[in-house]
Amino acid sequence: MVANASTPAIASARPEMTAALMDETGLDDDVLRELVHRFYDWVRADPVLAPIFVARITDWAPHLDRMVAFWSSVTLMTGRYHGRPVPKHAPLRLGSAHFDRWLALFRTAARYVCTPAGAEHVIARAERIARSLHMACTDACMAPGDIPVLRSAAAE
């Protein structure tokens, strides 16, 4: 089958939108798969990130498949990912150094694998999701005593 604006070459819950996004960005299943595999090859060799993954993931194939589905949903709106990333990350006690490193590797992998438009598209989404995951993780790590008590002037 030849992909065009109404028939994307990958399964999607929103075929027309997916076809238009594939057209604009050059992203498709093969490119996203290559991006995910290259990125996690680097993550697994990285001194900051590798220990966190080694402690949680023993069987990499299902994780990589899940991540391809995630990026397919996020970048091409295919609706293929059905997980909940926040509860998976909250117990990992991730800080700025982890997110900075994760994003640095992800940006490099995206620029290496994707077209310039595809890299820009996927990096913008990674940065946005990393920000909200970071906030969710910071919130989850805060003990009740760490939360500042805000008093109004009237209560003084």
Q: List, in order, residues 6 or more apart from 148 with CB less than 8 Å away.
A: none
Contact 3, 21 (CB under 8 A): no
- Mark the segment that binds ligand HEM (CB under 6 A) among 9-17, 20-28, 50-58, 113-121: 50-58
Cβ-closest position to ligand HEM: 83
Cα distances (Å, whole numbers) of residue 37 to 17, 72, 97, 148, 150: 25, 14, 22, 42, 47
Q: Which residues contribute to the annotated binding site?
A: 63
CB half-sphere exposure, 105, CA atoms < 13 A:
21
Question: Among residues 91 and 116, whose Cβ is nearest to ligand HEM?
Answer: 91
Residue in the block written with tokens 């402690």: 55
Tell me whether residue 5 or residue 57 sits nearer to ligand HEM (CB atom).
57
Site stretch for ligand HEM (CB under 6 A), options 1-9, 10-18, 127-135, 143-151? 127-135
Q: How many residues bind ligand HEM (CB under 6 A)?
A: 20
Q: Does 102 sit near ligand HEM (CB under 6 A)? A: yes
Q: Which residues are annotated as a binding site for heme?
A: 63
Q: Give the integer Cα–Cα distance in Å for 9 and 52.
A: 35
3 CA to centre of own chain: 26
Q: Which residues bind ligand HEM (CB under 6 A)?
A: 49, 52-53, 56-57, 66, 70, 83, 85, 88-89, 92, 94, 98-99, 102, 126, 129-130, 133
